[in-house]
Structure 1
Amino acid sequence: EKYREGEPIEHNWINRRGSQDFSRLVAYQDAFQPGARRYDVGERSNFALLPMAAEALRQLIDWEVGNVSETIGTLTDLIEEKAEGLGIMTTPKKRRVRHMIGLMLGHDAPDDLARRLTTHNVFVSVRGESVRVSPHLYNTERDVDLLFEILERVAG
């Protein structure tokens, strides 16, 4: 609720009130679009991306959402298992989605953990005292093993 009138990070023409009325684009507005539209960053008007988006949707239909969820879910389950083996708390399975998992490292985690991991080509999102891991279809069980090998090395 509080974000409906929030301040967007990006200030561009398309997230301004009335920007959908192309005949009045020169009547520039300081006010933002209402609701979530205020956070748009120009993706609606990037027509060059439409063929790629359409192809991505066709690919997803071909793979089937359930198969994608199961494949990625197998990796997040493995991440949970390995984390628990190291005493790292995770977001409980019943409280998370299949495509990502949080590893709660606590306040002892290095402040520059994301940078340290990146130097080893491990890309995760640090959220406070937690690490959000979002495997993709190209990731493998070996990638999960490497994640924990490197995590132990740089965070321990």
Structure 2
Amino acid sequence: MKNLRKELPLLSTTNYLNTASSGLLYDSLLNFRQNHDQMFLNNGSIFRENQQFFLNSVRKTVAEFFDNSKGDTALTPNFSLGLNTILNGLQKNEKILLLNDDYPSINFAVNNKGFEVCYAKIDDELEHNIEKSIKKHKPTVFIFSLIQYINGITIDLDFLKEIKLKYPELLIIADATQFCGTKIFNFSTSGIDILGCSGYKWLLGGYGNGFILFKEGLLKKITPSHYVVASQNSNYDKSYTNLMARFECGHLDTFNFGSLKHSLEILSDIGLSNIEMKINELASSAKNQLNELNLLEEKVVKRKSHSSIFNIKGDSFLFEKLTKQNIITSLRGSGIRISLHFYNTKGDIEELIHALHRYR
């Protein structure tokens, strides 16, 4: 595996356990960004003449990375903007299933648009709770985070396939911002209809980029009929009126989306299988050691599989102590969130455990 730690100067002075908040900038990405702006500086508008060819290459890279060759791939500055565009196109009589305490960009966005909403509880029986809510409330849409941002609880991907088989008319929309870049994922064979992601966390793409993946035919299905009619009858350039334009209106920044493309290529070179193996090893080690200290929620301990995001028992006092020791974490929910990416090491975990013994 390529040792990206050599390109991450922050790791030489800091125990960075905070990728769930923000991924890191690394040397070769910095070089790309500097070269990009140098060419813009030297060429002005000429630099943008081939932007559509370049952005098409970004879409192709994203689609290949997640195996979405048959579906549509839209570029969006972030997941939240993409989700709100989707919600604006849904019929107001849709009934939407959410997870309680899910990411506010999901739950608030749905609730403030006036949809009828039902919920499933996030605990060690998450999948059972979801199916129970589907049977009871009969939602038409299910929107959720694949990995919970507060404590790292992860929905079983095989369960989503089963749900899609049992309830084929249920529109399944997933926020994968805390998931993409942590393991091999084949969108085309998943039970997910629409998947969105911001690129600044586990994909290491920096801010201002993201994407939405649609299964074949779904982009048209969720586009309001009046938009379809208007686009068909319009005399304007089709790039302004096609179905993709609803998500990609206005200019797209080649700096931001070029950063995403660069990082996807780097992650591909490293190998998603290698990344997944390393993250799984770190997550297993961290879960065992944190559990021995009785620092994890019971619902996390009981889960058969888990991500590399953990919320440990602790307050702002402990958080400040860790920060002073250059151990970077986040205050989330009722505790302290840590998150481990492939550039972390078991030594990082040992340093955290040693600090927890000292300050608890």
TM-score w.r.t. structure 1 length?
Answer: 0.62
Tell me the CA shift for residue 133 of structure 1. Answer: 1.5
User: Displacement, 1:122?
Assistant: 0.6
RMSD between superposed Cα atoms in Å: 2.7
More strand by share: 2
**1:117 paired residue among 322, 330, 344:** 322
Alignment of 1:76-155 (within 5 A): 76-90=283-297, 91-92=300-301, 93-94=303-304, 96-97=306-307, 99-103=308-312, 105=313, 109-154=314-359
The aligned counterpart of 1:56 is: 263
Q: Distance in 2 between matches of 1:126 and 1:152?
A: 19
Rounded to whole Å, the distance in 1 between the matches of 2:350 and 2:270 is: 26
CA distance in 2, matches of 1:95, 1:144: 19
2:208 pairs with one of 35, 40, 43: 43
C-alpha contact 2:283 2:340 (8 A) present in aligned 1 = yes
Secondary structure at 1:69 match in 2: helix
Q: Bigger relative contact order, structure 1 or 2, given CA contacts below 8 A and separation 6+?
A: 2
Q: Structure 2 CA distance, aligned partners of 1:136 and 1:153?
A: 25
Query: How many residue pairs get matched?
Result: 118
More displaced stretch, 42-51 vs 76-85: 42-51
Q: Partners in 1 of 2:281 and 2:305 — Cα distance?
A: 16
- The runs of 5 or more residues in structure 2 that have no matched partner are 1-95, 97-106, 113-174, 176-206, 210-251
How far 1:142 moved relative to its partner? Answer: 0.9
Q: Does 1:3 align with 2:108?
A: yes
Instruction: Please tell me whether the aligned partners of residues 330 and 337 of structure 2 are also in contact (alpha carbons under 8 angstroms).
Output: yes
Write the distance in 2 (CA, Å) between the matches of 1:116 and 1:126. 13
- Give the aligned partner of residue 71 of structure 1: 278
Tell whether the 8 Å contact from 2:283 to 2:306 is kept in structure 1 after alignment: no
Deviation sequence 1:88-142 (CA, Å, 0-9, x none) = 2252343632x32232x1xxx3333322211111111222333221112221111
- Percent sequence identity is 21
Moved over 6 A (4+): none
Shift of 1:5: 5.7
